[in-house]
Structure 1
Amino acid sequence: VAMALAALLDKSYEHGPIETLFTVDEETGLTGAKNLGKDMITGNILINLDSEDEAQIFLGCAGGIDTLGHFDYTDAPAPAGYQFFKFSILKFKGGHSGADIHLGRANANKQLARFLFSLYRAYDGQVAVADINGGELRNVIPGNAYAVIGVPADKKEDLRKRVNEFAAVLEEEFSTIEGNQEVTLETVDTPATVIDADTAKRVVWSVNSIPNAVQAMSHRIEGMVNTSTNTALIRMDRDKHVITVTTSQRSEEESRKYDIAGQIYAHFDLSGARVEQGDGYPGWTPNMNSEILKVAVKAYEDLYGITPLCTSLHAGLECGNFLLNNPKLDMISFGPTLRDVHTPKESMHIPAVDKCWNHLRRILEMMADEK
């Protein structure tokens, strides 16, 4: 906002006509961008000042959509002769389900289901599930998950052995990526009821087999994710007797976004869940021939003697909604360096603000010269 206002007020440089656009609720639903009037954007070039790495110019972002599977269940008596435990997977790194999805970090929900699935097979289905929950937020790779499970009492020592073996497997598979994870097994009291056997099995089978993580890499920008899906949350609501699995799909291409979302929809439907799918938000496909991109790169090179990194963001920006308003928009996005955004430790690299301001001003000067 400050840089946009400065661009309007600064009399020390020459520029062409400038139209500024300010939106609300970008972080809580893109409300402002979604409700722009069709005549509000009159220009065909847009510079979005909402990026977090100075010396980088963004020319695309992912669109997203959430797909939820609701598994209705009934209470069943806890089977006689079973010993119950709380099995937990804790302290995976997690991270943002868009910006960090390419790092190969473990998904606690998927690993929980992986282990439970192995128990079902090893014990010929003699597994009871009394509680299951995992994940932190819908846009976060889950770092923690747990289930309260029961197995025949004569298998409790074998279960402990399998837990230790699984912990060793996770350590081996993720030793260079994670490092501080914990796998625990605690004895708990026998619950009065458990999830009915059919639903419990369907939830475990579904989460274990659902597509997850990177699905395709970009063919436009080397090293950039094109399409992904994240199994974000497992929530058990005892009052409503429903277990909800929340997933989110992202892609820089609308067609691929709806393709992977359709696959997740079909997966839940085949698992016997009630499927809920949101409207989502649109992506912004990178335009490698963008004219404003060429100007911005030249401006940065003139100012600082280096070529900025031109890349895309595997997360949402308002630019996708701006394109819906005006499909002719030629856009880029940049901004000063920010870290730990939306946390109590959020910070900004102060020298980067001056560099960004000079970059913006130089772009506007060059555009005026071209007219």
Structure 2
Amino acid sequence: MNDHLDTLAPEPLWRHFRTLCNTPRPSGREQAILKKITDWADARGLEYEFDETGNLLIRKAATPGHEDAPGVVLQSHVDMVSQADSDIDHDFERDPIETYVEGGWLHARGTTLGADNGVGAAAALAILEDDALTHGPLEALFTIEEEASLVGARHLAPNWLHGEYLLNLDSEFRGEVYIGCAGGNDVKVDHDFKQLEVESNQQVLEVSVSGLVGGHSGMDIDKGRANANVLLASALWALRDTGVQLVSWSGGTMRNAITRDASATIVVQAEAETLVGETLRAFEQRERGLYQGIDDGLRIEVTQAATPARQALSQDDSRRLLAVLAAMPYGIDRMSVAVPGVAESSNNIGVLRLEHGHLHLGAMVRALNLDSAEALNERFRALFSLIDVEAIAGEGYPGWAPNAQSPLLARFIELHEREVGAPAEVKVIHAGLECGIIGAKYPGLDMISFGPTILGAHSPTERVELEAVEEFYRLLQAMIEELA
């Protein structure tokens, strides 16, 4: 599978990326790819070890004569977001990612590509195998479950890394270097509602929202894209006068991906079915106008449910719950004053489930300042308290405070201008790079983050620019030699 990747340049990077594509590696299921990486390290005689969480650290001794150069840590994560088009039957725990090249970009067929952060991991492996490269002491840190609340970084072993500089390879825009990122936390709701028997004269309907662009809940949250969970909640709230009762709900799989598809099963009195259709058609027309030019594929459909429903929430509980779901904060909450042009805080309604009366909600709050995150957490608590349901904010993780005086940054800017012929743009990103957490554990580390251009991360439109990968790898090689 993916033989064509071996024809791309730089060859070592794409060869390793082919292994990553051919080996399923969703968050929490990284064992297979880590085994392939350690087998490769064994074959090359490289030293490696795991910490208690399962993060992998590979060490390579310095080029002779450069033992006293500052140590460099190459950091990436090996897991990927698992998202597929609704018409694609793909098992992310068993099936490889099928890739193709079109117009200078590498894509996947109907699924996420995993360039986030597979290209960074492949680059680190390519550097480790390059015996012609002059370097100081090298460490390659491969973290796990980054896409699932940054688990690997959160539980990274202390006193494990020896390097003075850390190059995070998880940024996604050519020509940019990142020196800061948002922190945040997860918000979860789990609650059991009482169910009632469905009456024989009630109609069982399926309401779905589909055709949305989706995307990364940090880097794309400022683009005004629709969230299927949010739209579905608003659509069903519009039906509040029809006596609607909720049976089930299914929307989203990852709290850090903008939800593209969601559906709910409802029951209404038979005489209300026509009103339901008319109301949803009017709602769809309004929303398509609001999202014109952003989510032009937006569809809201109502059909007869394929299977009968035996139980549903009461009309009162359904109405109260839909009111809360329709009022949840979504998108950018406020913009930063300290870093103009960057979001200060935001929220994404990533996962929403209702099964057999049990409601599960998974939201992701991001913020440059954890006080801003707590303000959003309080809004969730207050909102759900109105229906006597508890919203629980998980332990927050720190952002990465920018250091414009970083010696590593200064060297990278000089190198970038020399190698590329243009200055690198210094940025702060509204996404949860692992640098914030690693920096808190290793406060002496000087860190920057850079990478090739990746668009559509966390969605099946994900693609990576081939020319940008070549430039990224050339910069990485040059930076390592510069620091040696």
TM-score when normalising by structure 2: 0.66
Report SS of the residue matched to 1:22: strand
Q: For residue 52 of structure 1, report the CA deviation from its aligned partner.
A: 3.0
1:26-105 pair list within 5 angstroms: 26-27=145-146, 29=148, 30-42=150-162, 45-79=165-199, 81-105=201-225
- Segments of 5+ residues of structure 1 without an aligned counterpart are none
Q: For residue 172 of structure 1, report the CA deviation from its aligned partner.
A: 0.9
Matched, 1:268 2:414: no
1:126-145 pair list within 5 angstroms: 126-145=243-262
Distance change (3 Å), C-alpha of 1:348 and 1:186: closer
Q: For residue 208 of structure 1, report the CA deviation from its aligned partner.
A: 0.7
Distance in 2 (alpha carbons) for counterparts of 1:130 and 1:50: 41
In structure 1, the partner of 2:309 is 191
> 2:321 corresponds to which letter in structure 1?
V
Q: For residue 313 of structure 1, report the CA deviation from its aligned partner.
A: 2.5
Matched, 1:310 2:431: no
Q: For residue 322 of structure 1, report the CA deviation from its aligned partner.
A: 1.4
Distance in 2 (alpha carbons) for counterparts of 1:133 and 1:357: 41
Percent identity, please: 29
Contact 1:131 1:195 in 2 (8 A): no
Deviates more, 1:156-165 or 1:74-83: 74-83
Pick from 225, 231, 248: which aligns with 2:343? 225
> 1:309 corresponds to which letter in structure 2?
E
Distance in 1 (alpha carbons) for counterparts of 2:229 and 2:461: 27
- Segments of 5+ residues of structure 2 without an aligned counterpart are 1-123
Q: For residue 332 of structure 1, report the CA deviation from its aligned partner.
A: 0.9
In structure 1, the partner of 2:128 is 5
In structure 2, the partner of 1:201 is 319
CA RMSD of aligned residues (A): 3.0
Distance in 2 (alpha carbons) for counterparts of 1:169 and 1:225: 27
Deviates more, 1:194-203 or 1:241-250: 194-203
Contact 2:254 2:350 in 1 (8 A): yes
> 2:332 corresponds to which letter in structure 1?
V
1:109-188 pair list within 5 angstroms: 109-120=229-240, 122-123=241-242, 126-188=243-305
Q: For residue 149 of structure 1, report the CA deviation from its aligned partner.
A: 2.5
Question: How many residues get paired?
Answer: 359
Contact 1:300 1:306 in 2 (8 A): yes
Distance change (3 Å), C-alpha of 1:317 and 1:9: farther
> 2:330 corresponds to which letter in structure 1?
N
Contact 1:67 1:248 in 2 (8 A): yes
Report SS of the residue matched to 2:159: coil
Deviates more, 1:199-208 or 1:289-298: 289-298
Distance in 1 (alpha carbons) for counterparts of 2:458 and 2:214: 16
Matched, 1:20 2:139: yes
Distance in 2 (alpha carbons) for counterparts of 1:342 and 1:194: 33
TM-score when normalising by structure 1: 0.84
> Whose RCO is larger (CA < 8 A, sep 6+)?
1
Contact 2:324 2:383 in 1 (8 A): yes
Distance in 1 (alpha carbons) for counterparts of 2:273 and 2:131: 71
Distance in 2 (alpha carbons) for counterparts of 1:23 and 1:116: 43
Q: Deviations over 1:321-367 (max 9, x none)?
A: 21111234332111234466688997655554553354345556666
Deviates more, 1:168-177 or 1:211-220: 211-220
Q: Deviations over 1:148-175 (max 9, x none)?
A: 2233333332222212111110111111
> 1:22 corresponds to which letter in structure 2?
L
Report SS of the residue matched to 1:336: coil
In structure 2, the partner of 1:242 is 358
Contact 2:248 2:353 in 1 (8 A): no
